[in-house]
Structure 1
Amino acid sequence: MSVSVFDLFSIGIGPSSSHTVGPMRAAGRFVAQLAEEALLDQATRVSAQLFGSLGATGHGHGSYDAVIWGLEGEDPETVDTAAGRLRSAEVRRTGRLRVLGRHEIDFDPDTDLVLHRRRALPFHPNGMTCTAYLGDRVLLERTYYSIGGGFVLEDDGSGQPTLRPDPTPVPHPFRTAAQLLEQCRASGLSVSGVMLANECARRPEADVRAGLLEIWAVMAGCVRAGSAAHGVLPGGLKVRRRAAELYDRLLVEAEPVATGDVLLPPGPVDPLSALDWVSLWALAVNEENASGGRVVTAPTNGAAGIIPAVLHYAVRFVPGTDDDGIVRFLLAAGAIGAVYQQTASISGAEVGCQGEVGTACSMAAAALTEIMGGTIEQVENAAEIGMEHHLGLTCDPVGGLVQIPCIERNAVGSVKAITAARLALRGDGRHTVSLDKVIKTMMETGADMKVKYKETSRGGLAVNIVEC
């Protein structure tokens, strides 16, 4: 297994894991290599070119600022986005960049940071080339691909760069869902148990549990922040934030129950009011993401609201969902996410939103099924249902912003995850289409999908919204 749960759930910034976090990490990796090769002090100029989907929607996705922050040595997990925006504005105004925060050079954003709207690199739609110069001489040049979820690959010249496998041997390696089930049957462990055992090959179990609870704390904090913020989202579409208003309206119906850091409703009077809370939790996260706030990729930023919303649902409505249940939920979700990451794609620019919201729904459905007592077969079935009914979903962000239809899509995907789990739990795990088959179908559907429907803002709602 080359993918850790902490790779899939990483703390970063909005609005996009592939268009904001990925380019920031790529730029940071480039200047770090420049320093490692003792070339930093010689550099008189640094440039970055963004291709394909990165170039087409980079302005709306915050790629511009993210690259500047990465070149200056900032990290997505710790960057102060408010101060960062002021700093990137200063770079534009002064034409001076502090590479790695210490080596100051001239930097003209018009020529040194270019977003190519109609040019793409061959391997992946999210391509990016960084170059450092001494005068007119190239000191170092590297090409990177942001493949979704904040994962970044460096072009190694092979034409098919891959994620570098973690060399740490794990007791239960798996790549496909079938292999995951085989490991569960052979060991007698649950899906989360297999994932925990593999994580413990890398770090002590106490650290694994503490790390996952910290991820949950950030998710819960994102819900709190989104549930309190009013106003309009940035970007020019003037999309009104709705989570806080919805939260206030739900409180009118009943006082919330205070449980730690989680915003929780009391027992519902309306039998479907629980779904209103699920929608609230998803909207809160994705409005925070759209505003450039601190979020957890789950497995991407565009789909970051689904797993927190369904986990909030579990904490409130599934009896016995304590810290151990939260850990098991995230481990089970991570195991399913690892299958997608190793055998398919979670990049909207490559396969459409079916690879983002569809994957998140699949992960959440599987995780909820496990903590509700499902068998490993029911867990796999829930994951399959979650993806099957997202097949063909396009990625057509209006204005290149992660707002319409992305925010509402997370609320709907959260409800679908709960439905998928309940359907699986009412069955016996036997079903016709396996998770591996539906993942293969998702990839084939993505390959057949026209480029204009894959995060380029050149098709679908992105072009038809002006007619409404």
Structure 2
Amino acid sequence: MTQISVFDIFKIGIGPSSSHTLGPWRAAQQFVVWLGQKRALESVEQVKILLYGSLAKTGRGHGTDIAVLLGLSGYDPVTFDTSGINSKVQQIYTSHQLLLGGLKEITFASDDICFLFEEELSFHPNAVTFQAFLQNGKALSQTYYSIGGGFVINPDEKTSLNTEVTLPFPIHTADDLLNWCLQSGLKVSDIIMRNELAWRSETDIREGVLNIFRVMNECVYRGCHTEGILPGGLNVIRRAASINKDLINTTQYTDFNSWLTAIRKAGNKFQYILDWVSCFALAVNEENAAFGRVVTAPTNGAAGVIPAVLFYDIIFCNKGIHIDRIIRFMLTASEIGSLFKKGATISAAMGGCQAEIGVSSAMAAAALTECLGGSQQQVLMAAEIAMEHHLGLTCDPIAGLVQIPCIERNAMGAIKAITASQLALQTNSQNARVTLDGVIKAMWETAKDMSIKYKETSDGGLAVTIPVSLPEC
């Protein structure tokens, strides 16, 4: 049984894609570590990178080439200064040199990254192979699969996501989770906290979750105060900053906390709240599209839903930042994401956008319901309702960029999450006819039946019906 932690679902990284940017970045880092374990790092003269399937077709738009170069150079997406991405990559291309692992200088040419548009490996559509050519004429290679949400695996290494531990409440399905809740009388978030304690102390859990919350805060605030045009050639104008300016009007604030206070004091009418939820979601995914630092929730492409709904709860429901409530929100959300990963997928290359925005909306709906006092059954019901109305959602990014329709879809996913929570809270869960496990199964069956052109390949949907002409980058 796969063991997934809250820190597997929520990862700090760099946009625009968890599966096409963060995953390949991590794969490149793992390859460098592997070369070191083979005592081959100092003997490497050249590295070639082969991108297959979806990584090839939308790789340039998602910055896959940038990610693997930075990963091979020894940089970490959690700490790398995002303002230096362009200059560092340009330096590699112009100097034709790459400092492998930050230690060994090797030659590099642009054709060392190969986009294999017509080739796909059977294990997963997001595949990358690294080939290292050594001084003795030999070569070493490893293939990694970016399976969504920043998760990377190499089947040959058979490594687990986490150190195997004995969980007090092993969970594989939503039914497992509900049974544990009913037997113990604990809330969903309490169950997840008990499981997390098998890996780390409560202090570490709380500090880790609050660090994730901090990065989300910084992302939302930065996105709401940054104007301009998103990179990539579509000339998409950032909107969150102008929406923020219009809504905040003449109210003065000096920092993040006073900004939240100003928002809360300015009103609570339906349209006002709706505009702010949309603004928060847009802000995150505009940052994501601009290669900013975001938190996978459960992916980069869906990173705006959770923060938007969490901010809705903080500002308009609970009227303030309360640490225990935030931790409860994040733990509940993470477990719903884990259930979808175990029972279906969180990879758009496997399941379309239902696997990203749909899952994030379900996560947010469940978390909000938990914080608003819903029963364990209502928490799971909210997640089911949110996903039920995302089934079949395609992933069809125009020009392979995580911009249209991805950014607006986060706003829609956040609003659906809030609606799903309200519906669950106003419903007797005993009358529900669809279970969360049932909708997870339906989502997976839908994913398997969905045409590949709607799975993050930019070969169908809006990606082909909206004419664009972009230069190769």
Compute the TM-score of the two structures, normalised by the length of structure 1: 0.95
Q: Tell me how far 1:255 sits from its aligned partner.
A: 6.6
User: How many residue pairs end up in the alignment?
Assistant: 464
Is it true that 1:42 corresponds to 2:43 in the alignment? yes
Quick check: 1:465 aligned with 2:466? yes
Task: Map 1:317-466 onto structure 2 (within 5 A).
Answer: 317-319=316-318, 322-430=322-430, 431-466=432-467
Instruction: Kindly report which structure 2 residues correspond to 1:178-327, keeping only aligned pairs within 5 A, or say none.
Output: 178-252=175-249, 260=257, 263=260, 264-266=263-265, 268=267, 270-319=269-318, 322-327=322-327
| 1:107–1:259 distance in 2 versus 1, CA, 3 Å | closer
Which ranges in structure 2 are unaligned for 5 or more consecutive residues? none
Q: Which amino acid aligns with 1:308?
A: P
Match of 2:155? 155
Q: Distance in 2 between matches of 1:463 and 1:389?
A: 24
Which segment drifts farther, 7-16 or 199-208?
A: 199-208
Q: CA deviation at 1:164?
A: 4.2
Q: Distance in 2 between matches of 1:366 and 1:152?
A: 26
Equivalent residue letter for 1:410: N
Question: Offset of 1:404 from its aligned partner?
Answer: 0.2
Q: Residues of 2 paired with 1:406 and 1:392: CA distance?
A: 15
> 2 CA distance for matches of 1:108 and 1:269?
56
How far 1:46 moved relative to its partner?
1.0
Amino acid of the structure 2 residue aligned with 1:437? G
User: Over the residues paired in the alignment, what is the CA RMSD in angstroms?
Assistant: 1.9
The 1:101–1:257 alpha-carbon spacing in structure 2 relative to 1, beyond 3 Å, is closer
Q: 1:256 to 1:422 in 2, by over 3 A?
A: farther
**1:211, CA displacement in angstroms?**
1.2
Q: 8 Å contact 1:256–1:266 — kept in the other structure?
A: no
Q: Deviations over 1:226-255 (max 9, x none)?
A: 000001000000000000000001012867
Task: For residues 191-244 of structure 1, give each alpha carbon's deviation from its aligned partner in whole angstroms, at most 9, with x where no partner exists.
Answer: 100111111111111221111111111101101000000010000000000000
Distance in 2 (alpha carbons) for counterparts of 1:7 and 1:269: 35
Output one character per residue of 1:82-120: Cα deviation in whole Å (capped at 9) or x when no partner.
Answer: 22321211111121111001101111121x111112211
> How far, CA to CA, are the matches of 1:398 and 1:467 in structure 2?
8
CA contact (8 A) 1:254 1:266 kept: no
Quote the Cα distance in structure 2 between the aligned partners of 1:288 and 1:26: 23
Q: Which runs of 5+ in 1 are unaligned?
A: none
Moved more, 290-299 or 255-264: 255-264
- 1:256·1:265 contact (CA, 8 Å) conserved in 2? no
Match of 1:96 in 2: 97
Find the residue that maps to 1:228 and give its secondary structure.
coil
Mean Cα deviation higher: 341-350 or 287-296: 341-350
402-411 or 132-141: bigger deviation: 132-141
Query: How much has 1:65 moved relative to structure 2?
Result: 0.7
**TM-superposed deviation, 1:75:** 1.2
Inter-partner Cα distance in structure 1 for 2:259 and 2:150: 26
Shift of the alpha carbon at 1:155? 2.9
Alpha-carbon contact 2:4-2:161 (below 8 Å) kept: no
Which letter maps to 2:460? G
Amino acid at match of 2:269: D
Contact 2:362 2:382 in 1 (8 A): yes
SS at match of 2:301: coil
* Structure 2 partner of 1:74: 75
- Which amino acid counterpart does residue 413 of structure 1 have in structure 2? G
CA deviation profile, 1:352-401 (whole Å, cap 9, x unmatched): 00000000000000000000000000000000001000000000000100
Once the two structures are TM-superposed, the CA of residue 165 in structure 1 deviates from its matched residue by: 5.3
Give the whole-Å Cα distance in 1 for the aligned partners of 2:241 and 2:176: 43
Query: Cα distance 1:256–1:390, how it changes in 2: closer, same or farther (>3 A)?
Result: farther
Partner letter of residue 79 of structure 1? F
Which stretches of structure 1, 4 residues or more, deviate above 4 A after TM superposition?
Answer: 161-165, 253-259
Cα deviation for residue 283 of structure 1 reads 0.5
Over 3 Å counting, the alpha-carbon distance change for 1:441 and 1:97 in structure 2 is: same
Conservation of the 8 A alpha-carbon contact between 2:55 and 2:127: yes
| 1:126 counterpart = 2:123 | no
Could you tell which deviates more after superposition, 18-27 or 133-142?
133-142
TM-score (norm 2): 0.94
Residues 1:172 and 2:169 aligned together? yes
